[in-house]
Amino acid sequence: MGNRKRQWFYYILFSLVGVAFIGRLFSIQVLDDRYKSLSKDNFLKKVVQFPPRGLIYDRSGKLLVYNDATFDLMVVPRQVKDLDTAEFCRLLKIDKESFNRKMEACKVNPYRSSVFEKQISALTYSRFQEHLFEFSGFYVEVRTDRRYKTKSAAHILGSIGEVNDQIIANSNGYYRQGEYTGISGIERSYEELLRGTKGVKNIIVDVRNRTVGPYFDGAYDTAAITGSSIYTTLDADLQHYGEALMGGKIGSVVAIEPATGEILALISSPSYDPNLLIGRERGNNFVELMHDPLKPMFNRPLNAPYPPGSIFKAISSLIAQQEGVLHPGTRYPCGGGYRVGGHTVKCSHGHPSPLELRGALMHSCNPYFCYVFRSIVDQRKFSTFEESYNNWYKHLQSFGIGTKLGIDLYGEAKGILKKSDYYNRIYGKGGWKGSTIISLAIGQGELGVTPLQMANVMAIIANRGYYITPHVLKYVDSLGKTGPRFESHNCSVDPKYFPIVIEGMADVVKSGTARVAQIDSVEVCGKTGTAQNPHGKDHSIFFAFAPKENPKIAIAVVVENSGYGSQWAAPIASLMIERYLFPEREQIKRKYLEDRMLNADLVHQKTTNEPVSH
């Protein structure tokens, strides 16, 4: 019968479906190799092994920063069974309400492990651990966190914190959410050395994220490599001593070893205990520090530009000699003031007049240096005043003023030094000259020098004409005991012009404005500064280096709004020099001076006294 032919319909139908299926199989199994890696994405979990971070030492090998184990309580919500919540909360010292809140947050990923409680204390951990087996689904993950052996040097050492989106984006895939990185200080600048190398453990997980075992018996695993330890140039003892002296005062101290550019101490006052920025309280403490009106988080030595005041006179002396417009025997009259138009730059120091250069430095004669300044910037050899100014500007830059020195710490500011354009904008081209900007002669006006730059200027004078880029890294243990080489920079003034300025600075301490800075058996060269500023009392500033021959330390001290340079800055600098040059002395010789400095609380006094303005 005719219908018999219809059997072919079935053969064709079955075959067509079969051919379609085989074609599809060929396409997804043989042609498309995407699925192999997709299957790997499923079962292969790469567990990052975090290496311990490198340690940080001071220049003598004293340990400053190390690691300690912390314990994160983790939970896989789906595995939690028959939990005795009351007992659990009692052991962990949390209330039922926060238990529920945390548990809800973790339940977003019921099969994944989430942090239930971050960084539980070792004590809680030890008590909790004995009962851990009763709480299925919970386990403890041991991590390391930073600990500081010292309460000082917070700004230099820096801190670590969780990476933000920007850091992740810029890290070429190195960082992932929740990981830590150095966010300030040495922790930041030497992050790549300190962090070490992450390892990877390849494990197989099933669909419930349960570990099944190692992938290929760990053949593709890599071990974590511990971070390199860093030996800093810091003298922990000097740093600590300086911080104590700066207690109750706002300001900065920077001490450099002139021959090497090594930072011996870098003090920002007020500071904070670096241990505040670790562990569970990090966030709260951070917010508190940020809101402190005294700005303890502000890294003054690198960031705060101060008018240098009289200290600038030493630099002018050098530049003027180099320009051939000043000789040691050049005399200018004082007359109690230098008159420009209706304005007079007064000289506050009673001294004989006229003076030669050395005497002018010792007495810090303002009019003398107004003449010197004008002799530099009003030179006839330049066709315009602007050209002459630019010449002066270049000299200053070679002293590191108005430029970033390139210290190996994050967040260095370049200070304030105006280009000629700035004055052109204000006074019009050709509308200004030496007399217009005469304040610069005595280190006032549009000039801001950071304490780091001040100390560096002192290093230049101590070295008679050059400086090494200031730095805090002495060496890295994994690279042998040799440190990286930091660049040497010559300033624009010939070494032969330095001795007369150094003699003048020695006189300042011997018989001038900074007699308080004298130290037995060591010749200290220094220069006081008393910088007027719109924020209240003058800043007390002092720079020095010692000994005069073969200097070991160059130092700059700024105590904000506290008065004359000789009142606060000079004693502090001098005490620190003594401490550094005579480490064997158990006691500073000038106990009375030390006590006066240690006990002075200018911060709170300031709030009661009316600011004095000049």
Partner 1 sequence: MSRYRTKESFETGGLDWLTILQYLAMVLFGWMAIYSAVFNPSNASMFDLSQSYGRQMMFIGLSLVIGIAILIIDAKFYSAFAYGFYGMAIFLCIVVIFIGAETKGAKSWFAIGGFKFQPVELAKYATALTLAKYLSRYGVNFKELRVKLISFGIIGLPMLLVLLQNDTGSALVFLAFFLVLYREGLPSWIIALGFHVAILFILALLVDKILIIYILCGIAALLSIFTWKNRQFLIVIIGALIFSILVVVSVDYVFNEVLQDHQRARINVLFGKGGDDYNVRQSKIAIGSGGLFGQGFLNGTQTRYDYVPEQSTDFIYCTVGEEYGFIGAGGVVLMFVILMIRLVRIAERQKNKFSRIYAYSVACILFIHFTINIGMTIGLMPVIGIPLPFFSYGGSSLLGFTILLFTLLKLDSNRVNEMQSLND
Query: Judged by CB under 8 A, which stretch of 137-145, 201-209, 257-265, 561-569 contacts partner 1?
Result: 201-209
User: Hey, what's the torsion of the CAs at 299, 304, 310, 315, to 10 degrees?
Assistant: 90
Size of the site for partner 1 (CB under 8 A): 38
Whole-angstrom distance, CA of residue 483 vs CA of residue 475: 4
Q: Three-state SS string across 7-36, please?
A: HHHHHHHHHHHHHHHHHHHHHHHHHCCHHH
**Beta pairing partners, 159:** none
User: Least distance to partner 1 from the beta carbon of 9, Å?
Assistant: 7
What does residue 464 show for φ and ψ, rounded to 5 degrees? 60, 50
Which residues from 341-380 bind partner 1, rule CB under 8 A?
none
| Tally of CB atoms within 10 A around 95 | 11
- Cβ distance to partner 1 smaller for residue 20 or 86: 20
Query: Judged by CB under 8 A, which stretch of 5-13, 295-303, 497-505, 553-561 contacts partner 1?
Result: 5-13
User: Least distance to partner 1 from the beta carbon of 137, Å?
Assistant: 19
CB 54 within 8 A of CB 194: yes
CB 92 within 8 A of CB 124: yes
- Cβ distance to partner 1 smaller for residue 14 or 427: 14
Q: Please report whether residue 83 would count as binding partner 1 according to CB under 8 A.
A: no
Determine if residue 95 is left, alpha or beta; phi over 0 gives left, psi from -120 to 50 gives alpha, anything else beta: beta
Whole-angstrom distance, CA of residue 614 vs CA of residue 612: 7
User: Least distance to partner 1 from the beta carbon of 264, Å?
Assistant: 59
- Cβ distance to partner 1 smaller for residue 212 or 294: 212
C-alpha count within 13 angstroms, C-beta hemisphere, residue 416: 13
Residue of 42, 222, 348, 613 interacting with partner 1 (CB under 8 A): 42
- Cβ distance to partner 1 smaller for residue 109 or 164: 109
Site string for partner 1, 146-185 (x = CB under 8 A): ----------------------------------------
Contacts of 293 (CB under 8 A, 6+ apart): none
- Cβ distance to partner 1 smaller for residue 16 or 290: 16
Q: Please report whether residue 211 would count as binding partner 1 according to CB under 8 A.
A: no
Whole-angstrom distance, CA of residue 233 vs CA of residue 253: 15
Coarse DSSP helix, strand, coil percentages of the chain, rounded to the nearest 5 percent: 40, 20, 40
User: Least distance to partner 1 from the beta carbon of 28, Å?
Assistant: 4
CB 254 within 8 A of CB 81: no
- Cβ distance to partner 1 smaller for residue 32 or 292: 32
User: Least distance to partner 1 from the beta carbon of 27, Å?
Assistant: 9
User: Least distance to partner 1 from the beta carbon of 23, Å?
Assistant: 10
H/E element, 361:
helix 357-363
Tell me, what DSSP letter sits at residue 30? I
Site string for partner 1, 9-38 (x = CB under 8 A): xxx-xxx-xx-xxx-xxx-xxx-xxxxx-x
Q: Please report whether residue 6 would count as binding partner 1 according to CB under 8 A.
A: yes
Residues in the chain: 614
Radius of gyration of the chain (CA): 34
Residue 551 burial by CB count (10 A; 0-12/13-18/19+): exposed, middle or buried?
Answer: buried
Q: Please report whether residue 273 would count as binding partner 1 according to CB under 8 A.
A: no
Place of tokens 């079935």: 10
User: Least distance to partner 1 from the beta carbon of 405, Å?
Assistant: 57
User: Least distance to partner 1 from the beta carbon of 25, Å?
Assistant: 5
Query: Judged by CB under 8 A, which stretch of 39-47, 48-56, 103-111, 374-382 contacts partner 1?
Result: 39-47
CB 53 within 8 A of CB 203: no
User: Least distance to partner 1 from the beta carbon of 204, Å?
Assistant: 7
Place of tokens 């009351």: 86
Q: How is residue 152 written in tokens? A: 């000082």
- Cβ distance to partner 1 smaller for residue 42 or 488: 42
Residue of 108, 123, 142, 207 interacting with partner 1 (CB under 8 A): 207
Residue of 167, 168, 204, 603 interacting with partner 1 (CB under 8 A): 204
- Cβ distance to partner 1 smaller for residue 1 or 287: 1
Q: How is residue 529 written in tokens? A: 């500064």
User: Least distance to partner 1 from the beta carbon of 208, Å?
Assistant: 7
Q: Please report whether residue 216 would count as binding partner 1 according to CB under 8 A.
A: no
User: Least distance to partner 1 from the beta carbon of 78, Å?
Assistant: 14
What does residue 406 show for φ and ψ, rounded to 5 degrees? 85, 30
CB 67 within 8 A of CB 144: yes
Residue of 7, 383, 521, 608 interacting with partner 1 (CB under 8 A): 7
User: Least distance to partner 1 from the beta carbon of 49, Å?
Assistant: 22
| Tally of CB atoms within 10 A around 383 | 8
Residue of 63, 115, 203, 205 interacting with partner 1 (CB under 8 A): 205
Residue type, 148: Y
CB 527 within 8 A of CB 547: no
Contacts of 588 (CB under 8 A, 6+ apart): 575, 578, 579, 594
Q: Please report whether residue 1 would count as binding partner 1 according to CB under 8 A.
A: yes
- Cβ distance to partner 1 smaller for residue 27 or 197: 27
- Cβ distance to partner 1 smaller for residue 78 or 404: 78
What does residue 62 show for φ and ψ, rounded to 5 degrees? -80, 130
- Cβ distance to partner 1 smaller for residue 208 or 515: 208
Residues of this chain that bind partner 1 (CB under 8 A): 1, 3-4, 6-7, 9-11, 13-15, 17-18, 20-22, 24-26, 28-30, 32-36, 38-40, 42-43, 204-208, 212
